Structure 1
Amino acid sequence: MRELLVHLDRSAGRLGGQVRSGLRDAIRSGRLPPGFRLPSTRALAENLGVSRGMVVDAYEQLIAEGYLTSRHGSGTQVTSACAAPQPAAAPGSADGPPITHDLVPGVPDLSEFPRAAWLAATRHVLNTAPHSAFGYPGPAGAAELRAALADYLGRVRAAQARPEHIVVVNGVAQGLSLVSQALRRFGRDVLAVEDPSSDRQRSIFTTHGLDVAYVPTDAEGIDVEALARTPARAVLVTPAHQYPTGVVLSPRRRAALVEWARAHDALIVEDDYDAEFRYDRDPVGCLQGLAPDRVVHLGSTSKALAPGMRLGWAALPAALIEQIRDLKTNADLGSATLAQLTLVRMLETGAYERHLRVMRAHYRKRRDAVAEAIAEHLPAARVHGVAAGLHLYVELPAGSDEEATVRRARAHGVRVEPMAAMRVIAPGPPAVIIGYATLSPDRLRAAVRLLAESVLPAAGRHG
């Protein structure tokens, strides 16, 4: 009889469970390959020194789970569906040396998550919320959170959003997914996006069958005249802090964009991803406040708290509310209630806004460290987007090789985001995106120094 590698710890008890898990592990690991015929229950019981009933129960359980099959006259065999898993990559086999200075944008300082305030708010909710609060959530989200968000967005972002117009979502990504599906339902198959823009969002739109029309941006933001020449009747913009260039949509372009939407019966989708972090003055009011009937306002706590919270919201025009609620129901029946009610408590007590004030000062110091280091080590570079957000758009010295610079920096343990993948219409100057939220000022200075040492010219590369 073939060695089955089922080892039993008799001091631990539950021998029947050990037999089942031992056989299951042997199949999963490939020690018992597809088609292998197991011994009879009597023979295996004798071999393991257990009762035959334990082995019968183990075989029956694994047959029910699909690991084994039993046919009269053929005995019990491992099913053909149980192939051994592919071996995992060996530790340290990833290309290149380890990353020691990660400057990729998109993540806040997770070490500053307000654990004490969040714990206190969660305890309050658990002590005070009625039992009914923990049933299936409504697709639009908890009424308490929608009311608190309407108040907060009105005060802080100058939004015009009533609670009944807000749907709670699992981050902006889900909001974009739901809006993409709604656009298809309305027969709007083309979505315009800014160029350059985040390449991570494009797959969301194409997954839901949308064609993407790219519209250039300049020092004032999106070119509305170019937008009008596309077939798009919906557009995604980042007006408070264009990603990645950091440009704020100018008043003239804001008015033109709203006029375009009204003239073409079009929809504006506003990704308000980091507008709460403005360092030179109060944040610019959201676009939704100008035209709540034409703008979907998407926001989240991903930058303010942590992306792992998966807490976001969509403030919707009346014409979209039922569609988005229906799509949200089909997606997941609604977002998790406990986190929603905890955020309500954070908003009601002022803990959320206190945390934001602390983090603005925190991030401003880091932004200053990066900007000063660039001025010292890369004086020929041009820095954009310093007034807000958690990243800088840095044009490398003229004639630099962007791809080679990013690759060389990676070899030095520094990871930055290249601009090439974010441009579609036309190439631009060599540039990188520097996220500064996660590293201390000293480590940021060191990272910029290493980046400066990595800058290579487009011709005559060295080192």
Structure 2
Amino acid sequence: MLFVTIDRKSSVSLTQQIYDQIRKSILNRDLEEGERLASSRGLSAAIGVSRNVVLEAYERLIAEGYLEVRSKSGTFVAKGSFLPAKGKTSEYEKVMPNVADRKPIIDFRGSHPAMDQFPRKKWGQLTRDICYEAPDHIFGYAEPGGIRELRVTLAKYLQRVRSVHCHPEQIMITTGATQALRLITEMLIKARTGISVEDPVTDEMRNIFFSAGAGIIPVPVDENGIIPECLPKEEGTGFVFVIPSHQFPMGGILSIQRRVQLIQYARELNNYIVEDDYDSEFTYEGAPVPSIQGLDPERVIYVGTFSKILSPALRMGFVVLPTHLIETFRRLKWFHDRHTSSIDQLVLSRFIEEGYLDRHIRKMRRIYRKRREVLETAVRASFKNAKIIGRAAGMHLVVDIPDIDFDDALAGEIEKQGVRIYPVEHFAMNKGRHTHQVVMGYGSLTPEQILQGVTQLKKFLSTRG
């Protein structure tokens, strides 16, 4: 039996409404194979629409094979047009939680920016202006390395704020730092399969390197960053991956002595240093430390992103390459996605040129400094023997509580209480050195959420004896 209802207030056309309902009835077997449908004249009279509307819906269903016309008999449901019932719940449905069942979580995720502070109004104004004013060629295919306007702007900006020495041709615009690191890995591990990587490090980085076919050599870090003496002495590594300005997760800053050692190491073994500079703009004690790239532009590949400064949604990153690697990288970029959005590149270029980025960073420094202070104060008040690790920078800190072993099982129990924390051991390749340490991010949490989260954490841990 066919029942069709019409909603004349809906933005969906009458034809589409009829089509959707008949198609659904067939797929769900509410209409059986071979069942005869009402004539177009009869259905149109029954639901109060013109016959042409019903005819158009029927014609679509006939063209797609749901219905068939039998001469002098009418319109029928075609054979084989229903969808067999599912025998069991799919694996996807098993693992996907019901949104309605989710409890609010205070998520201390590290390096996650404050989404509510994105400069929507100004970004929207610039986007509108550029869409009206930009020359026609901007809406076509662009250079894989990025539009020149942004590369020129970035070269000046990086020299001013990060002491990066480069010309615009050395800058390649990428779809986020993730793509940048993937392309670098593909480019450098063809003849050499190993990568020396800080340990611990974010699992995202490890996954990028693994997926590109690289072997990983973990190198320990301390409060001063990666320990150069622990680097492999033999040749065979494609590059050394470091986060020198604010190591994730431990928060250390690589000393000038170790920076010099790293460069000497890269020169001797004829390989590269890949410098990930993801949140150095947010420093709350003194001035940001200059980049390693400025010490040796031919041995250091500098990677930056605007995901942490502005928003991950922009998917805007960049690489500063030694001159002899430019063409190889450009070809790889072309094969991956041709080029990054030209409109967004132009907007970002103007956002930087007109001083809005500097203003936004100053504003966010104040906000993040306050949130860090609230978190530090709450942690020290709640856990008397806790130690805060890492320089006052970025959007996260590491808490060391000697009498608590933070592992994934404990983190799962804590999450059931409405708080999500991240054991440092989760990021470590060599296990056992960070069992009492946990990463707590504050970038995306309000002071009120931070206080509530620490209170709930203390309450739960105190009940465990």
Counterpart selection for 1:448 from 445, 454, 458: 454
Counterpart of 2:19 in structure 1 is 20
Counterpart of 1:222 in structure 2 is 226
Q: 1:202 to 1:26 in 2, by over 3 A?
A: farther
The amino acid across from 2:33 in the alignment is: R
Q: 1:315 to 1:79 in 2, by over 3 A?
A: farther
Deviation at 1:141, TM superposition (A): 0.8
The amino acid across from 1:317 in the alignment is: P
1:393-413 CA distance string (max 9 Å, x none): 111223545445533432331
8 A contact 1:402–1:431 mirrored in 2: no
Paired with 1:205 and 1:168, the residues of 2 have a C-alpha distance of 20
Counterpart of 2:376 in structure 1 is 371
Counterpart selection for 2:359 from 329, 338, 354: 354
1:329 aligns with 2:334: yes
The amino acid across from 1:195 in the alignment is: D
The amino acid across from 2:202 in the alignment is: S
Paired with 1:311 and 1:349, the residues of 2 have a C-alpha distance of 18
The amino acid across from 1:449 in the alignment is: T
8 A contact 1:32–1:78 mirrored in 2: no
The amino acid across from 1:393 in the alignment is: V
Counterpart of 1:98 in structure 2 is 104
Counterpart of 2:78 in structure 1 is 76
8 A contact 2:197–2:218 mirrored in 1: yes
Deviation at 1:273, TM superposition (A): 0.7
The amino acid across from 1:445 in the alignment is: L
Deviation at 1:15, TM superposition (A): 4.4
8 A contact 1:193–1:236 mirrored in 2: yes
1:462 aligns with 2:459: no
In the TM superposition, 1:199-278 aligns within 5 A as 199-229=203-233, 231-278=236-283
The number of residue pairs the alignment matches comes to 445
Q: 1:275 to 1:226 in 2, by over 3 A?
A: same
Q: 1:343 to 1:401 in 2, by over 3 A?
A: closer
Deviation at 1:107, TM superposition (A): 1.4
Deviation at 1:4, TM superposition (A): 5.1
In the TM superposition, 1:346-425 aligns within 5 A as 346-403=351-408, 405-425=410-430
Paired with 2:180 and 2:83, the residues of 1 have a C-alpha distance of 37
TM-score (normalizing by structure 1): 0.87
Q: 1:262 to 1:61 in 2, by over 3 A?
A: farther
Paired with 1:326 and 1:81, the residues of 2 have a C-alpha distance of 45
8 A contact 1:104–1:434 mirrored in 2: yes
Paired with 1:38 and 1:328, the residues of 2 have a C-alpha distance of 54
Counterpart selection for 2:291 from 286, 292, 304: 286
8 A contact 2:246–2:252 mirrored in 1: yes
Q: 1:412 to 1:55 in 2, by over 3 A?
A: closer
Paired with 2:300 and 2:84, the residues of 1 have a C-alpha distance of 51
Paired with 2:188 and 2:232, the residues of 1 have a C-alpha distance of 18
1:196-253 CA distance string (max 9 Å, x none): 0101222222222222221111222112222224742312110101100001111111
Counterpart of 1:191 in structure 2 is 195
- Helix, strand or coil at the partner of 1:132: helix
The amino acid across from 2:208 in the alignment is: I
Deviation at 1:14, TM superposition (A): 4.8
- Which deviates the most, 444-453 or 429-438? 444-453
The amino acid across from 2:379 in the alignment is: I
Q: 1:356 to 1:275 in 2, by over 3 A?
A: same
Counterpart of 2:152 in structure 1 is 147
Paired with 1:44 and 1:321, the residues of 2 have a C-alpha distance of 67
- Helix, strand or coil at the partner of 1:368: helix
Paired with 1:316 and 1:178, the residues of 2 have a C-alpha distance of 12
8 A contact 2:19–2:58 mirrored in 1: no
The amino acid across from 1:333 in the alignment is: R
Q: CA RMSD in A?
A: 3.0
Q: 1:164 to 1:23 in 2, by over 3 A?
A: farther
Deviation at 1:60, TM superposition (A): 4.3
Paired with 2:154 and 2:9, the residues of 1 have a C-alpha distance of 57
TM-score (normalizing by structure 2): 0.86
1:162-221 CA distance string (max 9 Å, x none): 11011111111111121122224x323222211101012222222222222211112221
- Helix, strand or coil at the partner of 1:201: helix
Counterpart of 2:181 in structure 1 is 176
- Helix, strand or coil at the partner of 2:237: coil
Counterpart selection for 1:137 from 132, 135, 142: 142
In the TM superposition, 1:423-434 aligns within 5 A as 423-429=428-434, 430-434=436-440
Deviation at 1:445, TM superposition (A): 2.4
The amino acid across from 2:28 in the alignment is: R
Paired with 1:414 and 1:393, the residues of 2 have a C-alpha distance of 16
Unaligned runs of 5+ in 1: none
8 A contact 2:28–2:82 mirrored in 1: no
Paired with 2:179 and 2:259, the residues of 1 have a C-alpha distance of 25
Counterpart of 2:120 in structure 1 is 115
Counterpart selection for 1:48 from 43, 50, 62: 43
Deviation at 1:356, TM superposition (A): 0.4
Counterpart of 2:47 in structure 1 is none
Q: 1:383 to 1:31 in 2, by over 3 A?
A: same
Deviation at 1:38, TM superposition (A): 5.3
Paired with 1:251 and 1:342, the residues of 2 have a C-alpha distance of 36
Counterpart of 2:48 in structure 1 is none
